[in-house]
Amino acid sequence: MIIDLHTHSTASDGTSSPAELLALANERNLGALALTDHDTTSGLPEFLNESVKYPGIKAVPGVEVSVKHYDFSIHVLGLFIGHGADALEKMLCEIRKGRDARNDLIALKLQKQGYDITIEEVKAIAGGDCPGRPHFARILVQKGYFATMQEAFDKSLKRGKSGYCKRELPMPADAIDAIHKAGGLAIWAHPMSFTDGDRKTINKILKFLVGKGLDGIEAYYPLFSTEQTKCLLELATKYSLTVSGGSDFHGVNMKNIDMGTGDGSLSIPFSVYENLKAYHERKASGLS
């Protein structure tokens, strides 16, 4: 039995509803599934309500928060959160306001470059309360400007390209604190994605995050090599951190990444969920 503790729904930039994610997890015989939408918990009520139909799946309420680290951003997952917690919701609201402001600027930049795109189209295709760059990319592909969403990012939307805009983000300590106040565990998501797999850099950032209260690290991820996963597991042991993992499933927005199996190489054992759950329970009881 395998698990997936990193997925996205239509509440942010995924293409499946929370209910559809659970149905798919059931088809794949997953033992545990976490919904971790970007900067919003709005999909969690549907996710948790629907989960009662699937007693064989451990439903984990979560969120993925973008935070600022020097001149770039990293992502922190909140797992086992109690959605609706005031501190977390207030922070997420501010992040979404910053995202909305950036979206307006991206639309303006693209229009000035001759692309036929409006912020209204972006909001309409997003549906949820977290429109973002993947929705811009999808529209640009639909209108024939690029062949794939990845090409849209590589040539226009990613950092350093003509359609990119920065946004205001919380500091890691603030995000970790808000996750803790919501009763959750703070997990550094896909670390290798932000550091080019350099162990020295990862160790430096990890040491900083541990000092801010980080609980764990996402060691299992479809884009990580066996060596990278081994490195992260060793660092988790070094800093006495818990370990998580997931596919980062977005549906058709990331066609090469499937729930549970990622690019085909992912297989996270149920014991990872059990260890996370035990860590969470120890922490809640004051024993961790």
The mean per-residue pLDDT over the stretch 222-244 comes to: 95
Cα 52 to the center of its chain, rounded Å: 24
- Position 288 scores a pLDDT of 62
The CATH number that applies at residue 193 is: 3.20.20.140
Measured CA to CA in angstroms, residue 190 lies from 196, 223, 247 at distances of 11, 9, 10
Beta-carbon contacts of 36 under 8 Å, excluding residues fewer than 6 positions away, are 5, 6, 7, 8, 62, 63, 64, 77, 78, 79, 246
Q: Which domain-ending residue is among 103, 134, 157?
A: 157
Same domain? 143 vs 277: no
The mean per-residue pLDDT over the stretch 77-93 comes to: 91
- Position 4 scores a pLDDT of 98
pTM of the complete model beyond 0.75: yes
The mean per-residue pLDDT over the stretch 178-191 comes to: 96
Same domain? 74 vs 182: yes
Domain range enclosing 144: 93-157
Proportion of the chain above pLDDT 90, given as a percent = 71
- Position 195 scores a pLDDT of 57
Residue 162 within a domain: no
Token pair, residue 99, equals 């995202």
Measured distance CA(102)–CA(239) in Å, rounded: 36
The mean per-residue pLDDT over the stretch 46-71 comes to: 95
- Position 188 scores a pLDDT of 97
Q: Which domain-ending residue is among 157, 177, 205?
A: 157
Same domain? 60 vs 109: no
Domain count for the chain, please give it.
2
Residue 198 has what DSSP assignment?
Answer: -
The CATH number that applies at residue 150 is: 1.10.150.650
Same domain? 143 vs 176: no
The mean per-residue pLDDT over the stretch 133-143 comes to: 90
